[in-house]
Amino acid sequence: MIPPVIVDTVIEARWIIPVEPEKTVLIDHAIVIDDGIIKAIVPSLQACSQFTPLNHITLDHHAIIPGLINLHTHAAMVLMRGLADDLPLMEWLNHHIWPAETRFVDANFVLDGATLACAEMLKGGITCFNDMYFFPEITAKAAIEMGMRAAIGLITIDLPSSYASDADDYLAKGLVLRDQYPQHPLLSFCFAPHAPYTVSDKTLANIMTYAEQLNLPVHIHLHETIDEIRNSLDTFGLRPIARLHQLGLLSPNLIAVHMVHLTNKEISLLKQQNCNIAHCPSSNLKLASGFAPVTDLLAHGINVGIGTDSAASNNRLDMFEEMRLTALLAKANSNKAEVLPARQALRMATLNGAIALGLDKITGSLSTGKAADITAVDFSGLTLSSCFDPVSHLVYVAGREHVSHVWVNGKLLLDEGELVNLNEMELINRAIHWQKRLNS
């Protein structure tokens, strides 16, 4: 008789929803974790006979899913939540956000903001986020300290800030940061030019060259508003997508954020170039940017993930809300109730984000050999009873308040809804400190 294998953790659950293979729901199964990696997913009885865990967790009323992936955010801006609401994008940026950033954003601001954002995201089941903000080395530090997986955006903009003096300075600092973490288990990197209207052709061309040499994604706001497109036509004689295509930036490495206003020809071009899209429904709604043609993008086979955008424009870092809105808006805009079903929304919030970031061999689904990035959702409460389909419940019923446990790389970071080894009141006090300063 073969003795049981000693492993770090066994998690038994009512349902395991691995995302791939598609439409799979495993009942009364267990995930076996060792050294941060998923070693096996087997029936619970088999797990008990084959493995001896150092930690054995039984979640009889829970659904286990891959950790959610927030494909677009500006984490530190959580400290500006509610600072300037109910305004159009450019008025919001020009008269409120950018002036506040000029006055207050420094390394301390980013550390406190990114740490607070990581805590909020972990409590909502998010295990990985793709960030774009100043002082990216500080966001990287916060993610490491919190134990989160992060794609750190090497931000570039043709405007000076407290972080860098010009586009070349942004790029140089970003490349130095990337070289500091060549193989960190939790960090990856993206080039992050802010937007076509804040980055010159020269800078975009430089980024394209570096991205090809280093095989890094390029993460950029694109076709967010009608004004953006109108101004591009006035300035360059081209719509922004055409301009980026002319510069060689449309590729499988591109993560285009928002993509609200698109022609059929542009959608076909995006498919031809195998671009990725980060869909941010709440931010698009709140800033009145419009409705992204998600059903058309998906029908063309384009990879679409989901992001929250910043808490300054959302105002929540809540991927459950984004999943639900993604599905509901797609149905309303297409007049077809059957489009974008719950399972597809869940995939967009997990595996599709990992694919866009080039991390799908590591995370995004629950598969043997992948990192144990796992979220548990408690279905025991009154508001989730009764349950005919756990995937439907995850998208249409559950909220981030139902997240009970989170593991990243096999490490338990949220236990029964409480952050492990973190003083939440200290984070709240830091947020209050910055609120007072921003109001001064």
Q: DSSP string spanning 143-203?
A: HHHHT-EEEEEEEE-SS--SS-SSHHHHHHHHHHHHHH-TT-SSEEEEEEE--TTTS-HHH
Cβ–Cβ under 8 Å, residues 239 and 270? no
Residues 19 and 40 in one domain: yes
Cβ–Cβ under 8 Å, residues 139 and 110? yes
pLDDT at 1 over 80: no
Residues 120 and 55 in one domain: no
How many domains does the chain fold into? 2
Residues 134 and 213 in one domain: yes
Residues 143 and 72 in one domain: yes
431, part of any domain: no
Q: What is the CATH number of the domain that holds 314?
A: 3.20.20.140
Residues 62 and 183 in one domain: no
Residues 266 and 371 in one domain: no
Crossing angle of helices 424-439 and 107-123, rounded to 10°: 130
Residues 94 and 233 in one domain: yes
From 309, 338, 357, the end of a domain falls on 357
Cβ–Cβ under 8 Å, residues 196 and 243? yes
Distance CA(243)–CA(232), nearest Å, equals 9
The 8-class DSSP code of residue 356 comes to H
Q: What is the pLDDT of residue 174?
A: 98
Q: What is the reported pTM? A: 0.97
Cβ–Cβ under 8 Å, residues 107 and 138? yes
Distance CA(60)–CA(403), nearest Å, equals 14
425, part of any domain: no
Confidence bin at 90 (pLDDT 50/70/90): confident
Residues 60 and 107 in one domain: no
Task: Look over the chain and give the mean of its residue pLDDT values, rounded to a whole number.
Answer: 96
176 is in which domain, residue-wise?
68-357
Q: What is the CATH number of the domain that holds 409?
A: 2.30.40.10
Residues 294 and 381 in one domain: no
437, part of any domain: no
Distance CA(268)–CA(262), nearest Å, equals 10
Residues 317 and 177 in one domain: yes
Mind listing the pLDDT tens digit for each residue in 225-273? 999 999 999 999 999 999 999 999 999 999 999 999 999 999 999 999 9
User: Where does residue 6 rank: exposed (0-12), middle (13-18), buried (19+ CB within 10 A)?
Assistant: exposed
